[in-house]
Amino acid sequence: MLLVLSDEHKEHLGFLPEVDSAVVGEFGRIAVEFLRKGTNPKIYEGAARKLSVDAETVQHGVEGLMYLLTESSKLMISEVDFQDSVLVLGFTEVLNQLLLQLYLENRKEIRHILGELTPSLPHYHNLEWRLDVQLASRALRQQVKPTVTMKLHLEESGGDKNAKVLQTDPATLMHLIQELEKALAELKTTHCRRILRNIK
């Protein structure tokens, strides 16, 4: 799978051939460091002074490199696909090899960092349900009022468990089931599959 780069991204990476390969390697180290700890404008300013360019150019170069490495790592692009993706930038062979080396050295760590950044949402563990039917009351002798009570057990990523109690009437429950079935059917479309493939 090839990585498709936007024109803006190509423009940001266009700064890399103007600097020495050691500087590109340092930019790669800074990009991975920024993924870990966040950005630091002082580093941009210091690098800009050394290279005699403005800080915004350095920032765009590092952010472009960060995007290239994170997207490639997220999609687990092979060596050949990475080289083909970078080929459209028109860089020298030496720079292409340096970018490939940066990618191969850092992709596991970047995937680990990206995995830690994903929100930890509770997931399904168990479901208990009960159907209650009220047949009569003091005010109404003959009535049928069904109620579905559900206890949804959820598990957090740390192993903590909690439960949510939900109560509804059968009509609302049937509507909820239909909407969930529509969502599941939507997941099977080619458009959704393509999006999910890129997320993984």
| In the chain, domain spans | 7-117, 120-168, 171-199
φ/ψ region of 90 (left if φ > 0, alpha if ψ in -120 to 50, else beta) reads left
Res 165: pLDDT = 95
Residue 157 contacts residue 120 (beta carbons within 8 Å): yes
What does the pLDDT average to over 89-103? 83
Quickly count: other Cβ atoms within 10 Å of residue 104's Cβ: 12
Amino acid at 67: Y
| Token pair listed for 167 | 């109560």
Residue 135 contacts residue 143 (beta carbons within 8 Å): yes
pLDDT winner (highest mean) among 74-88, 98-112, 173-187: 173-187
Enter the pTM of the model: 0.58
| Token pair listed for 162 | 């909690």
Packing angle, helices 21-37 and 41-51, rounded to 10: 170
132: helix, strand or coil: strand
Nearest 5°: the CA angle 91, 39, 71 is 45
Does the pLDDT value for residue 199 go beyond 70? no
For residue range 20-76, list pLDDT tens digits in order: 777 777 878 888 888 887 777 788 788 778 877 888 887 888 888 888 888 888 888
Res 97: pLDDT = 86
| Token pair listed for 106 | 């850092």
Cα gap 115→70, rounded to integer Å? 11
Q: Which residues pair with 131 in a beta bridge?
A: 148
Closest CA to 71 of 37, 41, 40, 99: 99
For residue range 144-154, list pLDDT tens digits in order: 889 999 999 99
